[in-house]
Structure 1
Amino acid sequence: MKIRLSAASAGLVLLAGIGTAAAQEVLIVPEQETVIREYVVKHPVDPVELPPGVEITVGTPLPDVVELYPIDEPDVQYRYVIVDGRTVLVEPETRKIVRVLE
């Protein structure tokens, strides 16, 4: 009985870890990604250089000195910025990077 309980406990811990990782990654359906990519191409902005120490990784907040640009399309809640030729999607409330489009 203890073995089953331990296996069940381990399974719950594993599932909790997966849920936490998934919460950081934003799921964008292919159609929405297409809309975002087309919008960025039609509305070019100057690329920015990030301050030293700021990395382009999901979950990293961008400093207030980085101007974020809106995506004026229905059902798109993110803002964007161009860094090193990549489109970086940012959650406006937290300024955290939610997705990097190559």
Structure 2
Amino acid sequence: MRTHLTSTAAAALLLVGLGAAAAEDVIIQPEQETVIREYVKKQPLASVKVPGVELNVGTALPDTVELHEVPNVKYRYTVIDNRTVVVDPDTHKIIKVYD
């Protein structure tokens, strides 16, 4: 019984680690990155504050943070603490941070 619980706990930790790694493995294609960069320059947003959130790839933003569309691109963006962040709208995880 103890071995089974240890195996289950190890499997759960492995899955959590894989989920975090998956967010960091999102690769924005160069064409999409160009579209995103040009669009956010033309459509500047007011910076917002999100207390307690570190702006790192893989960090999930609260659902209360408004994400803005970029035409013809799956990902969304917002500006937090004067830094533009690109977010996966399905997971709300940051996939890119622009200074």
2:98 matched to which residue of 1?
101
Provide structure 1 residue ranges, at least 5 long, that are not aligned to the other structure.
1-19
Aligned in 2, Cα 1:64/1:25: closer, same or farther, shift over 3 Å? same
Q: Distance in 2 between matches of 1:86 and 1:25?
A: 21
Structure 2 length-normalised TM: 0.70
Contact 1:25 1:58 in 2 (8 A): no
Superposed CA RMSD in Å reads: 1.8
Equivalent residue pairs, number: 80
Alignment of 1:55-74 (within 5 A): 55-72=54-71, 74=72
**Pair member with larger Rg:** 1
Moved over 6 A (4+): none
Alignment of 1:14-53 (within 5 A): 23=22, 24-51=24-51, 53=52
3-state SS of paired residue (1:28): coil
Aligned in 2, Cα 1:47/1:78: closer, same or farther, shift over 3 Å? same
Identity of aligned residues (%): 57
1:63 offset after TM fit, Å? 0.6
